[in-house]
Structure 1
Amino acid sequence: MIRTERLLLRPARDDDLEDLHAIFSDPRAMRYWDRPAYKEIETTRAFLRWFMTPDQERREEYIIELDGRAIGKAGMWAKPEVGFILHPDVWGQGYAFEAMNAVIPRAFAAHPRLPALTAEIDPRNRASEALLTKLGFERTGFAEKNFLYGGEEWCDTAYYALERPKR
């Protein structure tokens, strides 16, 4: 667990299902995710089961909790790639920055040979682009129309990296 000024970053629990489904079923939250909003809670339940399965070598992710409610998730979901998602009701309040600012040092500490963390975003997602930049990530590449979103829309991908801080 990690405690920040306003947040608790903790492992996922079964009782996070409803809060996570509120995020993953919201088309605004999922617009730039890897798939459209979930229609069925069973899809979220399957994701939650995967999320709760330990794999310390490849991932270290956290539920972002605010005042007893799961408002998102953040962490290293596929070494060395980090990511985050929040419920739209809490966008623009600095929670993603606060969570990632706590997660990044933890990821580097847990993987001392990892030279950099990476992130991928849809370049239309200006908020995520701004957050990554604020966290110190630099854009390292761009691929045009390389991702088929929802089976019907070709999207671009921007690639970012954050090098391990020098000691």
Structure 2
Amino acid sequence: ARLAYAILDGTLIPIDRRADERPYYSGKHKQHGDVQLLADPAGRLVWTSPALPGAVHDVTAARKIGLIDALTGAGVKTFADKGDHGAGGTIRTPFKRHRHRPWLSRGQRDVNRAHARIRAIGERAVATLKAWKVLTKLRCCPHGATALVQAILVLQLVEDSRYPG
């Protein structure tokens, strides 16, 4: 609740799984683990979700975790990508083009451009998480990866507090 705004993003972490465990597999990205994360306005990692199966969509993951209700209850304006379209509450997503409306208006394009500038800062948090070598190729289930992701979050928060910027 102390944040002026937050940036919500999801990322897939490569987990080496057997082929028979299809519910955990994202066919689009050919990977298994999905992690939702929040970044502050400076691009620092603030919060990470438990690791979820790779086939879970971003908005479904945010609802399942209770993240949308928590952010709305705290009144934190949150910027997210098109994967969270329709989340509601205080979650803001860019405008999407529809098949019956082939072009966005000039104002909508300007809003999307400003939205992308804000969200680009949050991509630093994804890069921070993925910079940890231990996440390059895990050999455990997505639920086992949760402990690693949470440990990385704690270590990163300690490191960020050591060097205020």
Give your verdict on TM over 0.5: no
What TM-score do you get using the length of structure 2 for normalisation?
0.27
Structure number with bigger Rg: 2
**Normalising by the residue count of structure 1, what TM-score does the alignment of the two structures yield?**
0.27
Q: Which has the higher strand share?
A: 1
